[in-house]
């Protein structure tokens, strides 16, 4: 069987989610091709060609694909499925948006956010916000799958797959791109960061969030996250949200500052390797999942932590 992976990229660079999705695809088949659908994607395709284990890189280019419009992606991917037994996309906002459309057009059941490939037909995926794990077996001849990339290791680089262009499809005749507001940041991306520092409602204001959380994150070379309570209160932008309804992260180190640990937040970070919690309430549920807990007011604890990090040579 052959498997198609739809690359995660921004037309400029390839995202690490692609490497992780390739790992999931290689668990299904040795014949893995990567589709880079976008606009002016020669550079991205060249990066994808380096992923070890990739047989071939396909490129498809149009305006609508450049904006990652779901209808355009689905009408590009669906005809390609004549040559593949499965298509895998990372469960990003793009993957989640177009993959079910492909499934509907192929008349198959999509399999969302897999955590594990048991065999070529059987997958483990989270339900009820990760409070239960479902093992499902698909009877469809062709499978449409989104992959929770934090559950898979990134495939290495070292290959040199050939690159060929394919038909971009009819685009999205009834959908027009108006604008993007993408937050520019020099910090690592939240979803793939090795260290994440998150702030909660205890910050009390957007100014306090910036003053406390961001310097600590920069000291650690970390991405910045936030609880839903902090986002809803307007202390942090919505794309910072870690949790069931936001981003799912699994960094090496997760530092939760002033976060109580609601179930919905825990669902987004409990697979982190090491969790640190700083909270003045010693009974906060976050301490039940934290490897290291510091019961203290963040107002004194974070400056002390900054000093201790400096003293330790960081």
Partner 1 sequence: MKVLVPVKRVIDYNVKARVKSDQSGVDLANVKMSMNPFCEIAVEEAVRLKEKGLVEEIIAVSIGPIQAQETIRTALAMGADRGILVQTDADPEPLEVAKLLKSVAEAEGPGLILMGKQAIDGDNNAVGQMLSALLGWPQATFASKLELDGQTARVTREVDGGLQTLELDLPAVVTADLRLNEPRYASLPNIMKAKKKTIDIKTVDDFGGVAPGHLKVLKVAEPAKRVAGVKVESAAELVTKLKTEAGVL
Restricted to residues 52-111, the positions that interact with partner 1 (CB under 8 A) are 67, 69-71, 74, 92-94, 96-105, 107-111
Cβ atoms of residues 24 and 147 within 8 Å: yes
d(CA 126, CA 100): 17
Residue nearer to partner 1 on the CB measure, 137 or 158: 137
245 binds partner 1 (CB under 8 A): yes
Nearest-CA neighbor of 153 among 303, 22, 286, 296? Answer: 22
String of contacts with partner 1 for each residue 265-294, x by CB under 8 A: -----x--xxxx-----x----xxxxxxxx
Q: Using CB under 8 A, pick the residue from 82, 179, 186, 283 that binds partner 1.
A: 179
The reply on whether position 225 binds partner 1 by CB under 8 A is: no
Give the residue from 120, 111, 109, 112 showing the smallest Cα distance to 29: 120
Nearer to partner 1, 22 or 284 (CB): 284
Taking the least distance from each CB to partner 1, the nearer of 45 and 70 is: 70
Dihedral Cα 63, 64, 66, 70, nearest 10 deg: -170
Count residues near partner 1 (CB under 8 A).
92
> x/- site string to partner 1, residues 6 to 25, per CB under 8 A?
--------------------
Q: Please report whether residue 186 would count as binding partner 1 according to CB under 8 A.
A: no
CA-to-CA dists, residue 148 to 76, 115, 305, angstroms = 23, 6, 32
Residues 77 and 60 sit within 8 Å (Cβ to Cβ):
no
User: Rule CB under 8 A: is residue 167 a binding residue for partner 1?
Assistant: no
> Residue 94 in contact with residue 8, Cβ under 8 Å?
yes
Q: Alpha carbon of 180 to those of 10, 64, 177, 183, 238: distances in Å?
A: 12, 13, 8, 9, 15
CB of 159 to partner 1, least distance (A): 26
User: Residue 304, interface with partner 1 (CB under 8 A)?
Assistant: yes
Q: Which of 83, 178, 186, 283 binds partner 1 (CB under 8 A)?
A: 178
Identify which of residues 40 and 238 has a Cβ nearer to partner 1 in the complex.
238
- Farthest-apart Cα atoms in the chain, separation: 61
Three-state DSSP string of 21-50: HHHHHHCCCCEEEEEEEECCCHHHHHHHHC
| Smallest gap from residue 158 Cβ to partner 1 (A) | 27
19, 20, 201, 247: residue in contact with partner 1 (rule CB under 8 A): 247
Considering only residues 82, 83, 180, 186, which one is a binding residue for partner 1 as defined by CB under 8 A?
180
If the CB atoms of residues 46 and 136 are measured against partner 1, the closer one turns out to be 136
49 binds partner 1 (CB under 8 A): no
Nearest to 286 by CA among 312, 308, 268, 309: 268
182 binds partner 1 (CB under 8 A): yes
Among 12, 128, 211, 297, binds partner 1 (CB under 8 A): 128
């Amino acid at each position: 069987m052959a498997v198609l992976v739809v690359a995660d990229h921004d037309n400029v660079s390839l995202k690490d989610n692609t490497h992780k999705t390739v790992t999931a695809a290689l668990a299904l088949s040795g014949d893995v091709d990567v589709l880079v659908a976008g606009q002016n994607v020669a550079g991205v395709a060249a990066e994808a060609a380096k992923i070890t284990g990739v047989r071939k890189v396909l490129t498809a280019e149009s305006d609508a694909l450049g904006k990652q419009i779901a209808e355009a992606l689905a009408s590009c991917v669906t005809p390609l499925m004549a040559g593949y037994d499965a298509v895998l996309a990372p469960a990003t906002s793009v993957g989640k948006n177009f993959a079910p459309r492909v499934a509907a057009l192929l008349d198959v059941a999509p399999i969302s956010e897999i955590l594990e490939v048991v065999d070529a037909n059987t997958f483990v995926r989270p339900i009820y916000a990760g409070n239960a794990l479902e093992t499902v077996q698909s009877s469809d001849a062709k499978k449409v799958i989104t992959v929770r990339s934090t559950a898979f290791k990134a495939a290495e680089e070292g290959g040199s797959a050939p690159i060929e262009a394919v038909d971009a499809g009819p685009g999205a005749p009834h959908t027009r791109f108006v604008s993007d507001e993408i937050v520019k940041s020099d910090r690592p991306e939240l979803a793939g960061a090795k260290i994440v520092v998150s702030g909660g409602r205890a910050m009390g204001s957007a100014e306090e969030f910036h003053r406390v959380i961001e310097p600590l994150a920069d000291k650690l070379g970390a991405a910045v996250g936030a609880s839903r309570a902090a986002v809803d209160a307007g202390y942090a932008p919505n794309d910072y949200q870690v949790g069931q309804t936001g981003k799912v992260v699994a960094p090496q180190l997760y530092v939760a500052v002033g976060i109580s640990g609601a179930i919905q937040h825990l669902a987004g970070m409990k697979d982190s390797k090491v969790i640190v919690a700083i909270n003045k309430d010693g009974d906060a549920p976050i301490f039940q999942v934290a490897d290291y807990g510091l019961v203290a007011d963040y107002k004194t604890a974070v400056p002390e932590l900054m000093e201790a990090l400096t003293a330790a040579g960081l």
